[in-house]
Structure 1
Amino acid sequence: MDWGRVKNVLIYAFLLLNLVLGYQLWNDLREQVDSNLDIASLENNIQKAMDDKQIRVLAKIPSDTPELPKIAYRIVNGEQGGKMINLQTTVDSKLIFAPRDLASALKTSLPDIGNYRYDEAASSSSVFVLHPLVDGKWPLFKIDLRLYNSNQKIISYRLQAIEVSQLQQEKPQRVLSASKALGNLIENFLPVGSVVTEVELGYYGEVFDSDAHLPAAPAWRFMLESGKEYYVQGINGDVISPNTEKAKE
């Protein structure tokens, strides 16, 4: 046995291990710094309220405040809406993480699926939830396409198809910052010990049994580790509670 060669191999292996561990440590420290910077964007009184209520924010707090208009949407598939439909050909459930491949596999049954985005926070092991996108970017929360999974195959779906339009004479407005929306939640709505795991901007809509056009406004969605969700209207700051489903000042 060539002990010199074995020794060199062991040295290189330890060096490689140290590099991997060093990179992991650096990445963890960078994420911690980024998290601290996010929290620093909150006002001092909000940070104090976080400490007092033992609230943690694990999600990145977006800094962008785009100008968005209110929109209108209408249910277009009538009585067929909301019915579970079996797929003629099942699809590998792993494709949910590959949007282009998923759209290609389901284009016959769901030709518009390319305009939907997977919502991991709202999904489970048996049901994948997707939301339609406004302008190809902003999810319309509460309006769902549900893909049902069994034995690692997508076997059926449930869809409430909609048609989106712009409200007449409705001008885009600058949305409330995520930090201000979160601050309001922390001070007035979140229970003690809450852990915020996701912050995302989209539109808030509800499904009603109506053929009329329904309004939807930009809204920040805040997901908690407990599974509860809060929505903050992006224009006037109203909060929609998951318990009452009513807007509050």
Structure 2
Amino acid sequence: MDWGRAKNVLIYSFLLLNLILGYQLWMDVKEQASSNLDFTSLAENTQKAMDQKGIQVLAQIPRDTPELQKITYRYLNGDTEREPVKLAEPVDSKLIFSSKELINALKNSIPQIDNHRYDPLLSQDGVFVLHPLVEGEWPLFNVALELYYSNQKITGYRQSLIEVTPSGEKQKVLSASKALGTLIENFLPERSVVKDIQLGYYGQVFNSESQVAAPAWRFILENGEIYYVQGISGDVISPKTEK
């Protein structure tokens, strides 16, 4: 066997393989960047305002505009400021990154956990945050299930059980691009960085047994500030001011 020739063939084969893999990686990165940073859905005035104010949008702009309706929800276990409940047997906190495993591990200990979604952007050291889902899909941002963890183990939780009732007729929600345009042109300060955009439910909280929430786009900035744009009326709400 001509070992020199065989060696050259192997070298050329590896070079060709690296070229193919490199091209595929470049295409994947290009496709991801295109999907995440596509501003063509934004109005021209909005794009100009972005440039003038130095605003960056690092999150993908959703294109879906489903038909949703307002909801009324009430708490089933009284006061929303409940004391944490300690788990009889701690659960591995790594399971938070696998929804199915997490639900299987905690479904016998935490009511309705199978109808919640993990919110990594609101979670912090020692606490994982999940929100209940309306119609099994849309997070209700007003309500949180908190999982407490220590030494890589979930040790307890705090939960407010709710009952949700649909209210009014379904309407097509405002597009994320229009909601974002309103924020960029009128509300966001200069050099803001938008890092997350998500559709769910949100409403101002009143001293009442029942609360009302409407479809809303949630925008989280890099500095931690949160803005909500009501999906039907287009009103803008900042939790810090509730205006």
Give the structure-2-normalised TM-score.
0.91
| In structure 1, C-alpha distance between the alignment counterparts of 2:159 and 2:144, rounded to whole Å | 7
Deviation digits for residues 170-229 of structure 1 (CA, Å, limit 9, x no counterpart):
11111111111100100111111111111111100466664x221111100011112211
Q: Aligned to 1:214, which of 211, 214, 231?
A: 211
In the alignment, structure 1 segments of 5+ residues that lack a partner are none
Deviates more, 1:219-228 or 1:8-17: 8-17
Matches within 5 A, 1:94-109: 94-109=94-109
Name the structure 2 match of 1:157. Answer: 157
| Cα distance change of structure 1 residues 220 and 3 upon mapping to structure 2, 3 Å threshold | same
| Cα distance change of structure 1 residues 12 and 91 upon mapping to structure 2, 3 Å threshold | farther
Query: By how many angstroms is 1:118 displaced?
Result: 0.7
Matches within 5 A, 1:26-65: 26-36=27-37, 38-65=38-65
Is residue 2:225 matched to residue 1:228? yes
Deviates more, 1:46-55 or 1:191-200: 191-200
| Cα distance change of structure 1 residues 68 and 32 upon mapping to structure 2, 3 Å threshold | same
| In structure 2, C-alpha distance between the alignment counterparts of 1:186 and 1:140, rounded to whole Å | 24
Name the structure 2 match of 1:89. Answer: 89
Matches within 5 A, 1:177-188: 177-188=175-186
| 1:12 alignment partner, SS class | helix
| In structure 2, C-alpha distance between the alignment counterparts of 1:136 and 1:203, rounded to whole Å | 12
Query: By how many angstroms is 1:15 displaced?
Result: 3.0
Name the structure 1 match of 2:70. Answer: 70
Deviation digits for residues 87-121 of structure 1 (CA, Å, limit 9, x no counterpart):
11111122112111111100111131000001122
| Cα distance change of structure 1 residues 14 and 127 upon mapping to structure 2, 3 Å threshold | farther
Deviates more, 1:235-244 or 1:129-138: 235-244
Name the structure 1 match of 2:238. Answer: 241
Query: By how many angstroms is 1:33 displaced?
Result: 2.6
| Cα distance change of structure 1 residues 132 and 188 upon mapping to structure 2, 3 Å threshold | same
| In structure 1, C-alpha distance between the alignment counterparts of 2:185 and 2:112, rounded to whole Å | 41
Matches within 5 A, 1:198-213: 198-205=196-203, 210=208, 212-213=209-210
**Cα RMSD over matched residues?**
2.1
The number of residue pairs the alignment matches comes to: 242
| 2:140 alignment partner, SS class | strand
Deviation digits for residues 101-158 of structure 1 (CA, Å, limit 9, x no counterpart):
1111001111310000011221234321100000101100021001122222211111
| In structure 2, C-alpha distance between the alignment counterparts of 1:43 and 1:243, rounded to whole Å | 28
- Deviating beyond 6 angstroms after TM superposition, the runs of 4 or more aligned structure 1 residues are none
| Cα distance change of structure 1 residues 54 and 237 upon mapping to structure 2, 3 Å threshold | same
| 2:47 alignment partner, SS class | helix
| In structure 2, C-alpha distance between the alignment counterparts of 1:4 and 1:19, rounded to whole Å | 23
Instruction: Give identity over the alignment, percent.
Output: 53
Deviates more, 1:105-114 or 1:45-54: 105-114
What letter matches 1:194 in structure 2? S
CA contact (8 A) 1:140 1:205 kept: no
What letter matches 2:93 in structure 1? S
Q: Aligned to 1:190, which of 184, 188, 191?
A: 188
In the alignment, structure 2 segments of 5+ residues that lack a partner are none
| Cα distance change of structure 1 residues 102 and 207 upon mapping to structure 2, 3 Å threshold | farther
Query: By how many angstroms is 1:5 displaced?
Result: 4.8
| 2:72 alignment partner, SS class | strand
| In structure 1, C-alpha distance between the alignment counterparts of 2:237 and 2:108, rounded to whole Å | 37
